[in-house]
């Protein structure tokens, strides 16, 4: 986990096929799952944050078959960072409004097909 600003930016762009300046949070972990790095564009610059666990490991969710990335809600991100195993949880069916990029200025969000905004999915009970 030696990558800094440019290395993480390149991973987001080339490996994940996403726009690093979209405003989304991109999270990476090392092979041992005891270190995390986060990269985020806040509109004026890139943030890179890191966390190293003294003991234990993060329970990293597996990507869907044929995918290289996992899309998490903000609740799932908080649970992952808090040490909760996401495979042991389940989402309840409830209303959640869709992300509306029409009301957001074009300088704040990339509406291209590769901007990593998750597509609607069905939730089963």
Q: What is the pLDDT of residue 19?
A: 96
- Contacts of 20 by beta carbon, 8 Å cutoff, 6+ apart: 9, 12, 13, 26, 39, 41, 46
73-122 pLDDT tens trace: 899 999 999 999 998 988 888 877 776 555 444 444 444 445 565 554 44
17-70 pLDDT tens trace: 999 999 999 999 999 999 999 999 999 999 999 999 999 999 989 898 999 899
- Helix locations, 1-125, DSSP H: 5-10, 74-81
**Does the pTM exceed 0.75?**
no
Domain ranges of the chain: 5-88
Higher pLDDT among residues 120 and 4, named by residue: 4
């Amino acid at each position: 986990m030696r990558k800094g600003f440019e290395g993480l930016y390149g991973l987001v762009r080339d490996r994940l096929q996403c726009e690093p300046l979209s405003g989304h949070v991109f999270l990476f972990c090392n092979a041992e799952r005891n270190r995390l790095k986060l990269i985020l564009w806040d509109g004026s610059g890139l943030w890179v944050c890191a966390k190293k666990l003294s003991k234990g490991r993060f329970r990293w969710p597996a990507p869907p078959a044929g995918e290289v990335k996992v899309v998490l809600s903000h609740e799932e991100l908080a649970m992952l960072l808090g040490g909760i195993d996401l495979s042991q949880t389940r989402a309840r069916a409830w209303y959640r409004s869709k992300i509306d990029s029409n009301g957001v200025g074009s300088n704040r969000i990339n509406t291209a097909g590769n901007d990593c905004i998750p597509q609607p999915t069905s939730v089963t009970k």
